[in-house]
Structure 1
Amino acid sequence: MPAERAGSSGLRRDIDLLQALAGDEALQRGGLGVVRLAELVQREKSQVSRALRALEKVGLVERDPVTREYRLGWQLFGLAARVGDMRLLQSAPPIMRALVDELGESVHLCVLQANQVLTVLTEAPVHAFRATGWVGRTFPAYCSSSGRALLIDYTLDELARRFLHTTFEPYGPVQLVHSVADLFQQVQIARRAGYAAVCEEFEAELVGVSAPVRDFRGRIVASLNISAPKFRLHDKLDLAGRAAASYAAQISARMGSVRAADI
């Protein structure tokens, strides 16, 4: 029992240290020293120092060679990212189903792959407009609402790098993006609205709206998309866009995003 209690105490101490390094003070300062961490977790400096060295060995924390302060390590972010992928796929379906029930249209969850968009999940209503054809399919990010939602945080330079070798070909009868500058303009419009909207840019008689989904770091990891025939959704695109943003924020909250309320 004493050994079990000691192990439990050590784990609790390690968790306290990781939480301290994930706190606002550590993030603002770019790291914390042993003395400050000992104060925050209310432990002896020698205990904290030993624990940090052990955590550093397995990559959960790293030490700045100049300031000698500790910050969270990339190994921890890698683990969190894998957990985040699982949480996304587990958390999204019931929220997507609720959105389907509210609007009566197909809802898709999409992720960014290079300059393409990949649909990973779909929830569909009874009438199921082409719902089964989207999962596993990739399509250009520049002419789709899901793609633009995934790019909402991008600067002009970041877009230029991602689409360096892209030819902006028309996919539907409407083409608003002929260049990176055009794409940046459309992304800015989406950013101000909180969602992206596309009308016949990806395909004739097809419209769509999408909103970004964020993880615990505030980074966009997916987009929530509503697509439907133009005759059914065009007159309520704004309503659908605001609904997509609201439900995307719910998924973001389950992903631990502190920016969910701002989406």
Structure 2
Amino acid sequence: MDETIPARSTAPRRNSAGLRRDLELLDVLARDEARTTPGGLGVVRIAELVGRDKGQVSRTLATLAEAGLVSRDPQSLGYSLGYQLYALAARTLEARLVREASPYLRRLVSATHETTHLCVLRGGNVLTLSSELSEYHFRGLGWQGVSTAAWRTSSGRVLVSGWSDEELREWYHLHGHDEPVIPSSPLAERESAALPAVPPGTLLITDEESLLVEIGRIRARGYATVDEEFETGVVGVSAPVHDTHGQIVAAINISAPKGRLGDHLDEAGRLTARVARDLSARLASGR
């Protein structure tokens, strides 16, 4: 028996039209006018910009606010882009970072035979997004998905090395120590040759002044090193990964037993910095 197959409807789906209207509101809130207006844009102004009924816009904004996609100022009652959009954007960036970084991490493993990591900053912690493991039986651990105190790691120090001295002091005050510390004079402009040598195993950062000294060292060399500061018997190097705008968005790290890498930290640091620059160029190309 023949069966009649119903013709596929060519009418647009109702929910797609609704989605377009939602995206239209988000686009308005991403414009300069919305970003520079204290308290955000009001419903009336948003309705004017999209050419739609005020009541309909108000209801849509309320729904978007419940999802965290827009935020409503309790005083002005104006709207701006919400936290959930930024969280989704961050995840998108991190997904691309992991995808693009994989061959570069493997390149480092091939050259050094040591474990490599891709790391990002989360407040006072470093989060490892991905790891490529060494083939050695005795090797650095894969830290994927694990957070560690940033100020004690080479990757954490690299991730904040693009900040101003004032931002560094504030960050260390919040995350470096529980007790308050006294702000010191800027030291980051010292020449790296004038910086004091540090004995192996010594904790480099103990206050704001020593943080600025170490950041100055990182800026001068283009990479950071740690020698048993984070874990006894373990050394590491890290270098910054930049986005299209030159902002540091990630760090590439090598961690290894001191017996294998301890005498080659600067060599490994220079290599890591070259690989990180190549990854930065890849990200900037947008391909």
Q: 1:107 to 1:165 in 2, by over 3 A?
A: same
Equivalent pairs, count: 246
1:183 corresponds to 2:211: yes
TM-score between both structures, scaled by the size of structure 2? 0.63
Deviation at 1:181, TM superposition (A): 2.2
Deviation at 1:18, TM superposition (A): 1.4
C-alpha separation between the residues in 1 aligned to 2:220 and 2:57? Answer: 47
Structure (1 or 2) with the larger CA radius of gyration: 2
**After superposition, what is the alpha-carbon deviation per residue over 1:75-102, rounded to whole angstroms, capped at 9, x for unaligned?**
4344545556655545542442345457
Q: 1:81 to 1:142 in 2, by over 3 A?
A: closer
Deviation at 1:148, TM superposition (A): 0.6
Q: 1:204 to 1:215 in 2, by over 3 A?
A: farther
Unaligned runs of 5+ in 1: 255-263
Aligned counterparts, 1:24-173, within 5 A: 24-30=32-38, 31-38=40-47, 40=49, 42-46=50-54, 47-81=56-90, 88-100=97-109, 106-111=115-120, 117=126, 119-124=128-133, 128=136, 130-135=138-143, 141-152=150-161, 153=163, 154-165=167-178, 172-173=200-201
CA contact (8 A) 2:140 2:255 kept: no
Q: 2:29 aligns with which of 17, 21, 26?
A: 21
Unaligned runs of 5+ in 2: 1-8, 180-197
Aligned residue number for residue 241 of structure 1: 273
Q: Give the letter for the 2:60 counterpart.
A: A
Percent identity over paired residues: 34
Q: 1:138 to 1:11 in 2, by over 3 A?
A: closer
Q: 1:133 to 1:74 in 2, by over 3 A?
A: closer
TM-score between both structures, scaled by the size of structure 1? 0.67
Aligned residue number for residue 254 of structure 2: 226
Deviation at 1:110, TM superposition (A): 3.1
CA contact (8 A) 2:223 2:238 kept: yes
CA contact (8 A) 1:95 1:250 kept: no
Aligned-pair RMSD on alpha carbons?
4.3
